[in-house]
Structure 1
C-alpha cells in the first residue's frame, strides 16, 4: 500500500506530464475546442432535430453491432456461447430498429441516459479539475464538471416538462462549455510553450 508521500509524488508527476502534454499539443486542443463549440451552437439552434438525429444515429450503430454479433455467431456455429451471441445480436438489432422506427420515443429514453452521462461526466471532471489544481486554468475544468452535474439535476427536476428538445439543448450547452474550456486551456498553454 502506498503512503501519503508516494501518492503526492505520483500526483505531482502526473500533473507535470499533463502540463507538458498541454504545452506541446495546445493547437490540437484549440481546434478540438472550436469544433465542440460549433457543434454545441448547432445543437442549441435546432435542439429537436439534434435530439432525433442522435437517436437515429445511435439506432443504426446498435443495429450494425447486432448484425456483427449475429454474423459472427452464424459463421462460427461451433463457438462456445453460440446461442448467447446470436441472442445478443437479435436483441441489439431489435433495440436499434425500435430507435430508428420511433425516434421520438427514443429521445425520452436517451434523455434519461444522458442525465446519467451528465452526472458521471460531472463527477469525473470535478475530480480531474482538483487533480489539475496547481496548473493554470484548472478551475475551468472544475466549472465544466459542476455544470454537467447541474444539467443532470435540472433534467431530473423538470423531467415531465422537458418534451423532446432538452436533450439537444443541454448537449449543445455542454459542448460549448467543454469547447470553451479547451480553448481557454489551449491558449493559456500556448503562451507557455517553449
Structure 2
C-alpha cells in the first residue's frame, strides 16, 4: 500500500471513530454546546467584565505556576539548570502579580495573545471540519473556524483601541458559534441513533 492509500484509510478510520463518538455521546456534546452558548451569551452581554476576569484568572494561574517553579528549584537546588528554573519561577510570579494588580495592562497583552489563539484555533477547527466533511453539519465547524480566523484579523487590526471590550465580546461570539455547532451536531446524531 502506498502513502496516499494509507492516508485515505487513516482519514476514513478517524471519521468512523468520530461518528461513533458523536452517536454514543451525543448528550455530552449537546450539554457542552449549551454550556458554551450560555457562557458566550454572558460574555457578549458584559464583555468588559469577561475581559478583565480573563486577565485576573490567568494572572492567578501564572502566579501559582511561578510559585511551583520556585519551590521545585529550591528543593532541587543541586540540579543542573537551577538558575533557569528559579528565573522562570520569578518571572512567572512577576507577570502573574502584574496581571492581577494591573489588569488594564494585562488586557492589552492578552488581546495580542488572543489574536494568536483565535488564529490557531481557527486553523484547528477548519482542519477538524475537513476531517468531519462527509458527516452532517461539518460545515458548522468550518464556519466556526473561519469566524475564529476573522476574529484574529479584527483583533490584529484594532487591538489598542478596542481591547477593553473586544476580547470579551469576540470570545463570547466564538463560544456561541462553537456551542451552536456542537448542539446541531449532537442533535443530528441523536436522531440517527
Tell me, yes or no, whether TM beats 0.5.
yes
Per the TM alignment, residue 2 of structure 1 is displaced from its structure 2 partner at its CA by 4.9
**Structure 2 residue 79 is matched with structure 1 residue 79:** yes
**Structure 2 residue 52 is matched with structure 1 residue 55:** no
Aligned counterpart, 2:191: 191
Alignment of 1:153-172 (within 5 A): 153-172=153-172
* CA RMSD, Structure 1 to Structure 2 (Å): 1.2
Distance 1:113 1:190 in 2: 37
Distance 1:45 1:77 in 2: 49
Distance 1:82 1:15 in 2: 46
Per the TM alignment, residue 131 of structure 1 is displaced from its structure 2 partner at its CA by 1.2
Distance 1:161 1:71 in 2: 40
**Structure 2 residue 98 is matched with structure 1 residue 98:** yes
Distance 2:163 2:16 in 1: 45
* TM-score normalised by structure 1 residue count: 0.96
> Number of matched residues?
193
Distance 2:181 2:147 in 1: 12
Runs of 4+ in 1 over 2 A off after TM superposition: 157-161
Per the TM alignment, residue 157 of structure 1 is displaced from its structure 2 partner at its CA by 2.3
Aligned counterpart, 2:24: 24
Secondary structure of residue in 1 paired with 2:164: coil
Task: Summarize the Cα distance change of 1:69–1:2 in structure 2 as closer, same or farther, 3 Å threshold.
Answer: farther
Higher helix share: 2
Distance 1:2 1:47 in 2: 52
Aligned counterpart, 1:64: 64
Distance 1:75 1:160 in 2: 42
- Asked if structure 1 preserves the Cα contact closer than 8 Å seen for 2:130 and 2:142, the reply is yes
Distance 1:45 1:28 in 2: 26
Aligned counterpart, 1:119: 119
